[in-house]
Amino acid sequence: MAATSAVPVPTPTAAPPGGPPPLTTRSIVGLAAIFLSAMMAGLNGRSGSLGLPDVRGALGFGMDDASWLNTLYSAGELIAMPFTTWFAITFSVRRFHLSMLTLTASIAAILPLTVNLEVLLSLRLIQGVTAGALIPILMMTALRILPPSIRLHGLALYAMTATFAPNVAIWLVGQWTDGISDWRWIYWQFIPVALFSGALVAWALPKEPIQWRRFSSINWPALFTGVPGLFLLAVALDQGNRLDWFNSPFICSAMAAGAIFLLAFILSEWSHPAPFIRFQLLARRNLAIGFTIFIFLLIAFISGAVLPTVFLTANWGYRAPQNAPVGLILGLPQLLAGSAVAILLYQRWMDARHVFAAGLAFVGVACFQASYLDSSWTWEQFAFAQALQAIGQPMAVVSVLFLGTSVVQPMEGPYVAGFVNVLRALGTVLGGALVNHLIETRSSFHSWLLTDRYGSVAGTLPDAPDMAAIGRAMNLEVLALATADVFRILGILSFALIPLALMMQYVPAPKMTPRSTPNQNNG
């Protein structure tokens, strides 16, 4: 525990073995290219979900069958996360990144031309794996090449894949489906950026040999249990609400088998000398608490653009262009907000735990402000809550990443990158499943309550009521009440995370200038 209680103050000087290499123009260009790829990977997943009704209508698929397009993509993302950094190190970041980028772009090119549902589902699963692999590489590379004096800005870039890309995707999908009226660009949008990013990566990153010797120590049992375990868990969570959860034998079987596989995966990783994910890192307080908060934080982030757009779509029939302002108010400020938070955290008088707690408070206040919604609300009424989210989300994400990554050594970066991204993918799927279940449960409650109250007064009405009009009005009111309840629950969750954030270990701000040689030798 002594190793975890004293947090060394990072220095931007030449690192010891395992530390970051000297920063060069090529490495900066390479990181920027990897960032573009990761951003497009985030857009790719969110755009596919938002544009699913147009894809389904164009190809003539049923709602239930087409829902598997999102499920399999999410499952593919999740199963790629724990293993990406190991394969990137083994095959070299340059070679592995270009391979995943090429496969993702190639599948994007042929997806709109595929009319067979089974083939489309298979391609979407593979694309989930290849695109999902692009995101952990960003964090791993930022931790590897950036000195502490600017590393927080690299973490801010990673945060943008969670705070910028999913929200701007709403506007972008609207341009494809209603602007140029060509839904195929929902998939094709990845290709131009992939060509540009791939060219930069090929030029900037060094050519390194494949480390074949690493396969002699690979944890095959973990690979063969982790992949099916994460796949089954993602499928069960994403399809659970549609199939009525534990009333479905399929969901029960998937949950049980997934849990068994994941338990075997964790046990195998715990005892293996060269694991994909080092679970022993959870003995460090900032990682144990930070990772716990992170997964619930992602659930709370559903209150950002997702929950308002679900309400506006169901209440007013909004499509992506009408929902776009909700996403843009939250998404566009992230171009500067992450770096602004990084600059704040670099101040020697600032405590990152307080920034983290303030970010959670902003998200919580935004949830409670949005909980006052009624059936008359349009996107304008959500604007203030979205502005609060735009402030709170980067404060929370950048702070928790700083507090977590500051207690690990550079050579442990790949383990942390894999861990964080597994939690990110899992939190996103879990959050969607939880919110959908809450909306359905609260809708049933409010529907029963309003119907009961109407029944108690219906006999006293002087004229025969218009049952169709009453039914429509009641459905709108039920939707508003249920959505308001979910906002309150997510707000309570955000505030409940604040004490945990304050329990994390204090980490001083990194020094902006190198320490002198004598101090380094003495330290």
Q: Are the CB atoms for 496 and 328 separated by under 8 Å?
A: no
Q: Which residue has the tokens 């009408």?
A: 322
Chain-centre distance of CA 421, in angstroms? 8
Residue 55 DSSP code: H
Give the angle 159-163-166 at the CA atoms, nearest 5°: 125
Distance CA 424, CA 432 (A): 12
Helix axes 25-50, 63-80, angle to 10 degrees: 160
Provide the total of helices (H) and of strands (E) in the chain, helices listed first. 22, 0
Residue 179 DSSP code: I
Burial class (CB in 10 A: 0-12, 13-18, 19+), 216: exposed
Structure tokens given for 105: 């772009």
Task: Per residue of the chain (523 residues), give pLDDT as tens.
Answer: 334 344 444 433 333 344 566 788 999 999 999 999 999 998 988 899 899 999 998 888 888 899 999 999 999 999 999 999 999 999 999 999 999 999 999 999 999 999 899 999 999 999 999 999 999 999 999 988 888 888 899 999 999 988 898 899 999 999 999 988 889 999 999 999 999 999 999 999 999 999 999 999 999 999 999 999 999 999 999 999 999 999 999 999 999 999 999 999 999 999 999 999 999 999 999 999 999 999 999 999 999 989 999 999 999 999 999 999 999 999 999 999 999 999 999 999 999 999 999 999 999 999 999 999 999 999 999 999 999 999 999 999 999 999 998 888 878 888 888 889 899 999 999 999 999 999 999 999 998 988 877 767 666 666 666 667 777 888 899 999 999 999 999 999 999 999 999 999 999 988 765 444 334 333 3
Distance CA 171, CA 326 (A): 9
Amino acid at 249: P
Distance CA 452, CA 443 (A): 14
Structure tokens given for 388: 């609060």
Distance CA 356, CA 352 (A): 6
Give pLDDT, residue 480.
95
Give pLDDT, residue 464.
60
Give pLDDT, residue 9.
40
Give pLDDT, residue 20.
62
DSSP run (H or E) holding 386: helix 383-405
The pTM score is 0.90
DSSP, residue by residue, 221-256 = HHHHHHHHHHHHHHHHHHHHTTTTGGGSHHHHHHHH
Residue 175 DSSP code: I
Q: Which residue has the tokens 């990084």?
A: 342
Q: What Rg, from alpha-carbon coordinates, does the chain have?
A: 24
Give pLDDT, residue 438.
94
- How many other β-carbons are positioned within 10 Å of the β-carbon of residue 360? 30
Structure tokens given for 319: 């499509």
Q: How many Å from the N-terminal Cα to the C-terminal Cα in the chain?
A: 20
Q: Are the CB atoms for 104 and 130 separated by under 8 Å?
A: yes
Q: Are the CB atoms for 306 and 164 separated by under 8 Å?
A: no
- Please list the alpha-helical segments (H only) found in 220-347: 220-240, 249-271, 285-300, 306-316, 320-331, 334-345
DSSP, residue by residue, 30-94 = HHHHHHHHHHHHHHHHHHHHHTHHHHHHHHT--HHHHHHHHHHHHHHHHHHTTTHHHHHHHH-HH
Q: Which residue has the tokens 């479905």?
A: 248
